[in-house]
Amino acid sequence: MLGKIRGRGRVGRSVNNTREVEAVVVGAGQAGLSGAYHLRRTGFEPERDFVVLDHSPGPGGAWQFRWPSLTYGKVHGMHSLPGMELTDADPARPSSEVIAEYFATYERTFDLRVRRPVEVRAVREGSGGRLLVETSDGDWSTRALINATGTWDRPFWPRYPGQETFRGRQLHTARYPGPEAFAGQRVIVVGGGASGTQHLLEIAPLAAATTWVTRRPPVYREGPFTEEFGRAAVALVEERVRQGLPPQSVVSVTGLPLNDAIRRGLADGVLDRQPMFDRITPDGVAWNDGRHVDADVILWATGFRAAIDHLAPLRLREPGGGIRVEGTRAVADPRIHLVGYGPSASTIGANRAGRAAVRDIRRLLAEKAVPTEQEPAAA
């Protein structure tokens, strides 16, 4: 079947130092490995038919960069990769270690041959209806691309008046070192998501003082996260993507789970949310009503944006700022599949999206297959 899809003599060649494959997978986190697994499972051979490019120094996707205090037992909803369960993980170990080891084993088990570290600089229109993928390790020509670059490389930093005058330290969740680094300091945590509350709860016992500020009042969710509730949340994110708007995270529409840790934080006053300040001063933050809070550190737990700048030459963005996607396929270019983008930006969503993307890619390649001697073109 795969030979009929590929076309004779088309795969694994190097033309003018540009290597040709049927598909390129960009990123080797949960979404990228899921896509690579389904390519492999349906007959594509790594290095000959497809290649996986990852800019990280080692296996683990964004998980390898998570803060040490985020142990595996604190991870919410980590879903195993397709074809191999994650079992017997020590909940007390850092999630960065547990998941990096799991991903490394997965790559070896299914012989995915991830190339790293490789920086994908641009994806642009190539010749003969193919895409040209320009990287730090040379160029690749491909008929389809699975983009699974996630968001970790694009932390979002809001801008407020006076920010450059602050004499203390500012850092983002992406570089959070753990609670010990804030001992004895006055810390302002900005952001109402899961990361912000986790940081606040573990910093508070060590810090001299903490202040929590968010743009909107937090929404707490009681009860179990049912399948029906999850589908409804994903549908809200999916609708934005269909409209070509920048995707929101699934977490942003589910609210914060009212677990024991959150309840204690509310009872202790640690999670006493304040409205967003109006400006930053050299010594802290201020509101227009005259209030001021002194601070040594501002920790921005303000989320991430999709890392898709390398796709800019293809002009996929809509006026709303996002890429319009149906399923995983970019509406403006059916050769491009975004996995782990918008509604599939969760571990279980990435698994399903990887399978869906490969199914559509096989259909695309079959439709555009080069006739072989066994299948002559119609007269």
Please write the tens of the pLDDT for every residue from 256-299: 888 888 999 999 999 999 999 999 999 999 999 999 999 999 99
Q: Write down the residue that tokens 């999206």 correspond to.
A: 353
Domain that holds residue 197: 163-219+255-300
pLDDT band at 232 (very low <50, low <70, confident <90, very high): low
The answer to whether residues 68 and 188 belong to one domain is no
The answer to whether residues 8 and 69 belong to one domain is yes
Is pLDDT at 378 greater than 60 in this prediction? no
The answer to whether residues 103 and 196 belong to one domain is no
Domain finish residue from 285, 300, 315: 300
The answer to whether residues 173 and 61 belong to one domain is no
Say what percent of the chain tops pLDDT 70.
Answer: 84
Residue 268 forms part of a structural domain: yes
Q: Comparing 2-11, 38-47, 72-81, which segment has the lowest mean pLDDT?
A: 2-11
Residue 250 forms part of a structural domain: no
The answer to whether residues 286 and 310 belong to one domain is no
Average pLDDT over residues 212-228: 79
Q: What is the domain count for the chain?
A: 2
Residue 248 forms part of a structural domain: no
Residue 232 forms part of a structural domain: no
Residue 342 forms part of a structural domain: yes
* Nearest to 346, CA basis, from 73, 76, 106, 157: 76
Residue of 106 and 17 predicted with greater confidence: 106
Is pLDDT at 57 greater than 80 in this prediction? yes
Is pLDDT at 369 greater than 80 in this prediction? no
The answer to whether residues 260 and 334 belong to one domain is no
Which range scores top for mean pLDDT: 20-29, 151-160, 315-324?
20-29
Q: What is the pLDDT of residue 347?
A: 64
* φ/ψ of residue 175, rounded to 5: -120, 25
Q: What is the pLDDT of residue 245?
A: 72
Is pLDDT at 377 greater than 70 in this prediction? no
Cα distance between residue 356 and residue 255, in whole Å: 28
Say what percent of the chain tops pLDDT 90.
Answer: 65
Residue of 4 and 22 predicted with greater confidence: 22
Single pTM value for the model:
0.83
The answer to whether residues 71 and 198 belong to one domain is no
Residue 227 forms part of a structural domain: no
Is pLDDT at 243 greater than 80 in this prediction? no
Q: What is the pLDDT of residue 277?
A: 98
Q: What is the pLDDT of residue 4?
A: 41
Domain finish residue from 300, 327, 359: 300
Average pLDDT over residues 133-154: 95
The answer to whether residues 42 and 95 belong to one domain is yes
Q: Comparing 118-127, 198-207, 257-266, which segment has the lowest mean pLDDT?
A: 257-266
The answer to whether residues 213 and 287 belong to one domain is yes
The answer to whether residues 132 and 208 belong to one domain is no
Largest Cα–Cα separation, the chain: 82
Q: Chain-wide mean pLDDT for the chain? A: 87
pLDDT band at 351 (very low <50, low <70, confident <90, very high): confident
Residue 363 forms part of a structural domain: yes
The answer to whether residues 135 and 30 belong to one domain is yes
What separation in angstroms does the CA of 114 have from each of 42, 98, 226, 349? 18, 19, 35, 22
* φ/ψ of residue 36, rounded to 5: -65, -40
Residue 110 forms part of a structural domain: yes
Q: Write down the residue that tokens 């006026």 correspond to.
A: 319
Is pLDDT at 250 greater than 70 in this prediction? no
Average pLDDT over residues 174-197: 94
As a three-state string, the secondary structure of the chain is CHHHHHCCCCCCCEECCEEEEEEEEECCCHHHHHHHHHHHHCCCCECCCEEEECCCCCCCHHHHHCCCCCEHHHCCCCCCCCCCCCCCCCCCCEHHHHHHHHHHHHHHHCCCCCECCCCEEEEEECCCCCEEEEEECEEEEEEEEEECCCCCCCECCCCCCCHHHCCCEEEEHHHCCCHHHHCCCEEEEECCCHHHHHHHHHHCCCCCEEEEEECCCCCEECCCCCHHHHHHHHHHHHHHHHCCCCCCCCHHHCCEECCHHHHHHHHHCCCCEEECCCEEECCEEECCCCCEEECCEEEECCCECCCCHHHHHHCCECCCCCECEECCEECCEEEEEECCCHHHCCHHHHHHHHHHHHHHHHHHHHHCCCCCCCCCCCC
Q: What is the pLDDT of residue 376?
A: 44
State the CB neighbour count (10 A cutoff) for residue 357.
30
The answer to whether residues 279 and 330 belong to one domain is no
Domain finish residue from 275, 300, 325: 300
CATH number, position 26: 3.50.50.60
Is pLDDT at 9 greater than 50 in this prediction? no
